[in-house]
Amino acid sequence: MAQGVGLEIIRDKKAFICDMDGVIYHGNKLLDGVKQFIDWLQANGKEYLFLTNSSERSPMELQQKLARLGVTIDKKHFYTSALATAIFLQSQKPNGSAYVLGEAGLINAMYEVGYTMNDVNPDYVVVGESRTYNLDTLTHAVNLVTRGASLIGTNPDLTGPIEKGIMPATGALIAPIALATGVTPYFVGKPNPLMMRNALKRLGCKREETVIIGDRMDTDILSGIEAEIDTVLVLTGVSTVDTVRQFAYQPSLILDGVKDIPALT
Q: Give me the active site residues, please.
A: 19, 21
Per-position DSSP letters for 215-227, written without gaps between them: S-IIIIIHHHHHT
First vs last C-alpha separation in the chain: 14
Which of 66, 80, 76 is closest to 38 using CA atoms? 66
Residues whose CB falls within 8 Å of the CB of residue 53, separated by 6 or more in sequence, listed in order:
19, 21, 80, 81, 154, 155, 157, 169, 170, 189, 190, 219
Check: CB of residue 257 under 8 Å from CB of residue 235.
Answer: yes
- H or E element that contains 97: strand 97-101
